[in-house]
Structure 1
Amino acid sequence: MAKDLNQVVYQIYPLSFKDSNGDGIGDLNGIITELDYLKDLGVDVIWLSPVYQSPMDDNGYDISDYYEVNPMFGSKTDLMNLLNKAHEKGLKVIMDLVLNHTSDEHVWFKEALKGPNNPYYDYYIWSDTPSDITSVFSGSAWQYVEHLKQYYFHLFSVKQPDLNWQNKTLRTEIYRMINYWLDLGFDGFRLDVIDLIGKDVYSKRLADGPYLDAYLEELYETCFKGREVFTVGEMPGISLKRANEITSTHPALDMVFQFDHIALDEQPGQGKWMLKTLDLHALKQTLNNTQQIFKDKGWPSLFLSNHDQPRAVSRYGNPSEKYRNDSAKMLFTLLFGMKGTPYIYQGEEFGMTGIKMAIEDYKDIETKNIYQELKQKGFKEADIMNSIYAKSRDNSRTPMQWNETVNAGFSTGSPWLKVNPNYVLINRDTDQKDPNGIITYVKDLLKLRKSNPLFNTGAFNLLFEDHPNLFIYERASETERIVVVCNWTDVTIENPLSIEKMSVLLSNSTDHITLKPYYTGIYYEKRTIHA
C-alpha cells in the first residue's frame, strides 16, 4: 500500500481525558499537557472524539455547528494549538466527524422546520406516515412535528435528525466543511456510522444502502484526492466481506470499524443488551476469518475498546486485582499480533475497568433509554442492571485515571461523570512506575510490532484451533515465523508447542512451559528451507 497504515491510533474522549481549568470537563488544553506521554507510549495518530459545537444530547455526536468548537472544550485557537504541538512531536490528529445526522439545534434543522418551501427542508428526511423502523436508542425512528403534520427520521436520538444525503446541495455543504478542516491541517477523520449515508429509508435499506458506493466515491474525489489523509469509517452494519471490498476499492476509506468480533457476547439478533458468554472458539473463527479475508487486499482495524464499547479488560479479560495486569497484556498481544492498524482507547494502556453505578448516576442517553424500555417490558431490575453494568457506554467514559490524588488527577472540580473508585489502585502514574506494568509492556509490544514486518505481511495461521483455553496463531513467511500464544483463562495449562528452537520476543511470564492464567508470549524462529 502507498500509505503507511501500520501506525498506532490512540482515541481521546475529550470529555473524560484531562481537565485543565477545574470545571469537571476534559478539554483541549488538558490534552496538550499529555502529548509527550502519548508520543512516548508509541502512538502515531490521535483520534479526537467530537469537539464541535453541540448541545451534548449524545456527548458531541449531535453537532449543531460543524465549524465551531464547543466552548466547554476550549476555543478554536486551543484546537489549532493542539494540532500544531502534536505535529511538532510527529503526531497526527484526526477529527471525529458525524455525517449521518446533526443536532436538532443545527441552523439547517431549525430552517427545515419552517416547512417544505424552505431550502433546508430537504436536508432532512420526512414522511407523512411513519414506518416501523426503530431507533438505535429505543422507540420509533420517526418523530412527529405537529405544525408540519409530518414526521422526521432519526435513527439515533430524537435530537439527532438524519441528513438526507440524496440532496446534492447538502452533500456540497458537507464537502465544503470537510475541506475546511483539511485545509487547516488536520490529518484525517474517523467517520461516524458512515455506512448509513447511502440509505434509502423508504425501502428500509439502511446500513450499506444503495447509494453508499457513489457517495464514498464523490467524497474521495471532492475532498481526499491528492491529499495525504488518514480515514477510518465506522460501519457496524456491514459484513466482513463487504468491509474488505470497501477498503480495497474505495480510496475514501483506508479501513473500517466492523463489529463481528464485538457482537460475540450478545444473544444473536437480540441486540447488545441481551448477554451471552463469549465462546473462545467463535472468537478464534471470527478473527481468523477477518485475517483471511484481508490477507491480500484491504486493511482491517485492530480494536476491542472505544467510547461506545465497554472496557476490554472487564469484558474479555479479568478485572480482578490478581489477574487484571496479565489479562490486559494478553488481550493487547492477541490483537496486536495481527494484520491491521492498532487502536488504543484512553486508559486501556494501563487496564482501566468498567464501573457499576446507581441508574441515576449514568449520563449516557442510550443507557437511560434502555433502562426505561426494559422496565416497561417487565424485565427484573437486577437483570437490567447486570446488562447495564456489562454494556453501558459509560463504562468507557468515566474520567481518565491519571494518579491517586483526588478525582484521579482528572480534575480539581466535580467531574461530569463519576470517577471509578478503583483509581487509587488503577492509574497511569502507578502503572508507569511499575517495571512490570501494562504501559511498559504495551510500549515494548508496539516497538516489536513496528520493527518486524511479519506482523503485517506474514501469513496468518490458527494453531491448535480446537484447544478450549488457548488462542495460538502464527505469522509466517517462507524463512521465519512468529507464534503468538494466549491463555484466555484463569487456569494453568501446559504449553502444547515445542519451543526449544524458538526465542521469546515478549511475554508476561518467565515460565513458557507451564502457562499461568492469562499467559501470553510471542516466539520467533527461523524456518528451514528444504531444496
Structure 2
Amino acid sequence: MQELAWWQSAIIYEIYPRSFQDSNGDGIGDLDGILQRLDYLAQLGIDAIWISPIYPSPMADFGYDVADYCGIDPIFGTMGDFDRLLAEAHQRGLKVILDFVPNHSSDRHPWFLESRSSRESHKRDWYLWRDEPNNWLSNFGGSAWEWDEATGQYYYHSFLKQQPDLNWRNPAVRSAMFNVLRFWLERGVDGFRVDVMWLMIKDYQYRDNPPNPGYGPDQPSSNSLLHVYDSNRPDVHVLVAEMRAVVDDYPGRVLIGEIYLPVKDLMTYYGQDLKGTNLPFNFLLLQSAWNAEAVAQVISEYVNALPAGAWPNWVLGNHDNARIATRVGVQQTPVAAMLLLTLPGTLTIYYGEEIGMTNVPIPPEEVQDPAEKNQPGIGMGRDPERTPMRWDGSLLAGFTCGKPWLPLGGDHTFVNVASQEQEESSLLNLYRKLIALRRMYPMLVSGEMLSVVADENLLRYERRGVGKRFLVLLNLGNDSVQAKTEAGTVIASIRSDREGEQVDSLVELEDSEGLMIELAR
C-alpha cells in the first residue's frame, strides 16, 4: 500500500482562538494561550491544529473580516508569538493549519480603502462595484449590495457590509492572494482551511437569483432565493486548481475547502485529476438527523460518491454549528465519538467536543455574533458553540483571570478537562483511547469500510484491513438492543468495562452504547 501523506492519517483539531486559552487576562484567548496547551493536545493524540483567523481585523465578524492578510492581530499576540507557537507545535510533532479567508476582506483593508477612493482607482476592479444592484442577498440578512455615497455605486458583500467581496476574476487579485499563501508557507505553516471556497466566483452577468419555492418564514432571509448565480459557479474550479498548485509548490502541505453543498457538488471540488482541494470538508454527518438509518445513508452516499483515488474526511462539529452534545444529546456523545474515530480518512474535531461541551445560552445583552444581531430570533447566532474551553472546575474554568468574552456556562464545574482526566470512564479518556486505537490499527484510517447497515436504532459496519476485521456496533437509541455477530473480542467499549470480552453469535448493547469487536478470521 502506498504510504499516506501526513494529512491523510491526521486528526485535525479546530481551535477558535478567542475561546481556547487566555494568557494575559483580557478575557480573550490568544496565541500564547494555545502554546500553553500544546502538551494537552499532544497527549490527546491529535496530529494538527487548525486555528481560526488570527489576522489584524476590526472584528466585525471576529476575524473573518481581514484587514491585513500577512499580520497578527494584537488581540492574539505578535508575529513573534506565532513563530514561537509554530516552532513549539512542530517540536511536538503537531502540524499547524491556518484559516485563509479569500472571498472577502475587511472594509478597512488598504485594498478596499483604495478601491472605494474613486471610480478611477487602480484597485477599483479588485472588488465588485455596480451602478444598480441585482437581487442577491447577504448570508447575514438583507441585500448583499451596499451603497457608497462618495463614488455613487454599490459594492457587493456576501456577508456583512464590512466584508466586501474580492473580485477573483481580476488577475491582480489572484496574484496578491496567492502571494499571501506563499508568505505563510515560507513561514512554515502546514496548510490552509479555505473559508467559503464555493462562493469565490460570481456570475459575470450578475443575473438575478430565482425564488426558492421551499422557503419558509422561520428560515433566514438569504434562503428566500436559490443561490444559482452567486455561489458554486463552474469557474470556481479553475481558481481552486490554481490555489492547489501554489500549495503543491511546498511539499507536505494540505489544502482544505469549506464547502456547504450537496454531496454530488461537493465531490467536484476534488478537481479534475484530483488537482482541486485535497479535502473538501464533508459536513454531511454534521447536518444529518441523529438516527441509525439517516447516519447509515449519509455514510454510504458519501463513500459511494468519492471519485477514484479521492481521500475521505469527516466532520462532526465546528464553529458555525451547534455542538455535538447539544445536537445528539449528552448521552449520545460517546456514540458520536466512536462513530467519528472509526471512520476512514481524515477527521476533524472541534475544541471541547472531547469533554462534551454543550451550547451555552447567551443572554440578549451578551450576544456578540453579528449573524444573530442582524437577524434576531431565528437561531442564526453562533456564540453558543464558541464559548471558552473549560480546563478545570474553578470560577473561570482555567480559561482566564479576567472576564471571559462569552459566558462559560453553568455546567463548567464538572464538564472540564481536569475533572475528566481523573475519571477513567470519562468522555475525554474515551477520545484518548479511541485515538490511540486508531494509531495502533492503520486499517481504521485506510482500510475498507463495508456493510454499513441500520437495524432500527443499531448502526453497524465493518472495517477491514490486511489480516484484520473490526465490527463496529453503535446503539443510537435509548433502549438496549441485541446484535448478531461472529466470534470475536471486544477491543473498545463505551458504557462499561467490556474490553477483552469474548462474544459469539449475539451481543447485547445498552442504550447509547458502542462496541468495537475484533472478529476472528
Cα displacement (A) at 1:482 = 1.2
- Partners in 2 of 1:436 and 1:108 — Cα distance? 53
2:485 match: 498
Q: Secondary structure at the match of 2:178?
A: helix
- Which of 104, 109, 113 is the matching residue for 2:112? 109
8 Å CA contact retained: 1:454, 1:482:
no
Aligned CA RMSD, in angstroms, stands at: 1.9
Offset, 1:437: 1.2
Structure 2 residue runs of 5 or longer lacking an equivalent are: 208-227
Tell me the equivalent position of 1:357.
Answer: 362
Which residue matches 2:446? Answer: 457
Letter in 2 for 1:520: G
TM-score by length of 2: 0.89
1:116 maps to a residue whose letter is R
Q: Which residue of 2 aligns with 1:3?
A: 5
Structure 2: distance between partners of 1:246 and 1:463: 25
| Contact persistence 1:216–1:250 (CA under 8 A) | no
8 Å contact kept, 2:360–2:407:
no
Residue 97 (1) aligns with residue 93 (2): no
* 1:358 shift after superposition: 2.1
| Residue-by-residue CA offset, 1:416-474 (whole Å, 9 max, x unaligned) | 11111210111011011111111211111112112223223333234543x22111111
Q: Distance between the aligned counterparts of 2:252 and 2:119, measured in 1?
A: 40
User: 1:296 offset after TM fit, Å?
Assistant: 4.4
Q: Of 335, 338, 346, which aligns to 2:343?
A: 338
What corresponds to 2:264 in structure 1? 241
Summarize the alignment of residues 197-216 of structure 1 with structure 2, pairs less than 5 Å apart. 197-200=200-203, 202-203=206-207, 204-216=228-240
State TM-score, norm by structure 1: 0.88
2:147 partner letter: Y
Within the candidate set 261, 270, 275, 2:285 is matched to 261
State how 1:173-184 maps to structure 2 within 5 Å. 173-184=176-187
2:371 alignment partner, SS class: helix
Paired position in structure 2 for 1:380: none
The answer to whether the Cα contact below 8 Å between 1:136 and 1:156 also exists between their aligned partners in 2 is yes
Shift of 1:161: 0.6
Q: What's the counterpart of residue 314 of structure 2?
A: 302
What is the match of residue 431 of structure 1?
420
Residue 207 of structure 1 deviates from its aligned partner by 2.7
Of the three residues 491, 516, 521, the one matched with 1:522 is: 516
Is the 1:200–1:210 Cα contact (8 Å) retained in structure 2?
Answer: no
Say if 1:66 and 1:133 are closer, same or farther in 2 by CA, change over 3 A.
same
Shift of 1:252: 4.8
Change (3 A) 1:132 1:258: farther
**Percent identical:** 34
Counterpart residue identity of residue 289, structure 1: E
Residue 302 of structure 2: aligned partner: 290
Aligned to 1:170: 173
Match of 1:367 in 2: 372
2:198 aligned to which of 195, 213, 229: 195
> Amino acid of the residue matched to residue 365 of structure 2?
E
Q: Which amino acid aligns with 1:313?
A: A
Aligned-partner SS, 2:397: helix
Q: Which amino acid aligns with 2:279?
A: M
- Distance of 1:263 and 1:348 partners within structure 2: 16
Q: How many residue pairs were aligned?
A: 488
1:126-177 deviations in whole A, cap 9, x for unaligned? 1111111111111111111122221111111111111100000111010111
1:59 paired with 2:62, answer yes
In the aligned structure 1, how far is the partner of 2:452 from the partner of 2:257?
31
1:295 touches 1:459 (CA, 8 Å); kept in 2?
A: no
Q: In structure 1, what is the Cα distance between the partners aligned to 2:43 and 2:291?
A: 36
Corresponding residue for 2:211?
none
What residue number does 1:123 align with? 126
State which of 393, 397, 400 in structure 2 corresponds to 1:408.
397
Would you say the 8 A contact 2:300–2:452 is kept in 1?
A: no
Matches within 5 A, 1:446-485: 446-465=435-454, 467-476=455-464, 479-485=467-473
Helix, strand or coil: the match of 1:68? coil
Q: How many Å separate the matches in 1 of 2:407 and 2:170?
A: 42
Deviation by residue 1:169-214 (Cα, 9 ceiling, x = unmatched) = 1110101111011001111111111122233261453332122121
1:65/1:478 CA distance change after superposition, 3 Å: closer
- 1:216-249 deviations in whole A, cap 9, x for unaligned? 222233343242212211011x332343343263
Kept after mapping to 2: 8 A contact 1:9/1:46: yes
Question: How far is 1:292 from its partner?
Answer: 2.2
Letter in 1 for 2:195: D
Secondary structure of 1:52 counterpart: coil
Partner SS, residue 77 of structure 2: coil
Gaps of 5+ in 1: 266-277, 372-383
Shift of 1:281: 2.0
Q: Could you tell me which of 145, 168, 174 is aligned with 2:148?
A: 145
Residue type of the alignment partner of 2:493: S
Aligned partners of 2:267 and 2:307 also within 8 Å: no
